[in-house]
Amino acid sequence: MTHTLILLRHGESEWNAKNLFTGWVDVGLTEKGQAEAVRGGEQLVAAGLHPTVVHTSLQRRAINTAALALDAADRHWIPVRRSWRLNERHYGALQGKNKAQVRDEYGEEQFMLWRRSFDVPPPPLDDDAEYSQVGDPQYADLGAEMPRTECLRDVIARLLPYWEAGIVPDLRAGHTVLVAAHGNSLRAIVKHLDQISDEDIAGLNIPTGMPLVYELDEDTMQPVTKGGTYLDPEAAAAAAAAVANQGR
């Protein structure tokens, strides 16, 4: 027997469309992003996948994607669990900046280090900066854990406790688990599941609104098929390549 895990990155956000670094800024979905979410739900139905519990971040682009996808799949009623630990990577002082402008200003190498390296975080964001989340009510309980910037290693460190204590127990209980989250928080889960090296994870990009299905061994929680399975693999590959090329 296996456990079924479905990973879903939110649909296109307002700041994806503007090519801005987003991180913890709580932007909404574009019309295209809403349609992607609905399409994701329809793909679940077509594949005979019926989530029985959903986990989301605390950010509206993931929350609304989950709601639209589940509504399209007639699964709008399932239990919902949310955690800041599934939030997008905090992009530090890059939040709100245009990706192409950052690349032009700092060069390709620095741009890629900040964007995709495992352990180089962008400079921290000042607490009084326009796009800081310090003081936002949804993060009132975080205390010293409130990030001001994060690299992927930091995301993995804050996400894994939730994976172990929140998501794995649902999988072991026999749930079909949908996780609606973000490009970099899902890269963290995929790195963990597929045991991707710190170097190779730089080349992995996750497209918006496309369900990625993992069957996990019931004992080891290791993927039966490394990399999982996109329900529309050709569209996912093209969309992932477009994510990789943002800023060019």
Residue pair 43/211 in contact (Cβ under 8 Å)? The answer is yes
Minimum gap (Å) between residue 139 Cβ and ligand 2PG: 16
The stretch near ligand 2PG (CB under 6 A) out of 14-22, 57-65, 156-164, 218-226 is 14-22
Q: Which of residues 158-187 bind ligand 2PG (CB under 6 A)?
A: 183-184
Q: Total residues contacting ligand 2PG (rule CB under 6 A)?
A: 11
- Write the CA distances from 144 to 7, 126, 134, integer angstroms: 29, 15, 11
The stretch near ligand 2PG (CB under 6 A) out of 19-27, 34-42, 146-154, 229-237 is 19-27
Catalytic residue of the set 3, 36, 55, 88: 88
Sheet of strand 212-217: strand arrangement = 80-82, 53-56, 177-181, 2-9, 212-217, 229-230
Which of 13, 165, 185, 198 lies closest to 85 in space, CA to CA?
Answer: 185
Asked if 91 interacts with ligand 2PG (CB under 6 A), we say: yes
DSSP one-letter string for 102-154: HHHHH-HHHHHHHHH-SS-PPPPPPTTSTT--TT-GGGTT-GGG--S---HHH
Asked if 150 interacts with ligand 2PG (CB under 6 A), we say: no
Asked if 12 interacts with ligand 2PG (CB under 6 A), we say: no
Q: Which of residues 112-141 bind ligand 2PG (CB under 6 A)?
A: 115
Is 12 annotated to bind a ligand? Reply is yes
**Residue 10 known to be catalytic:** yes
Known catalytic residues are 10, 88
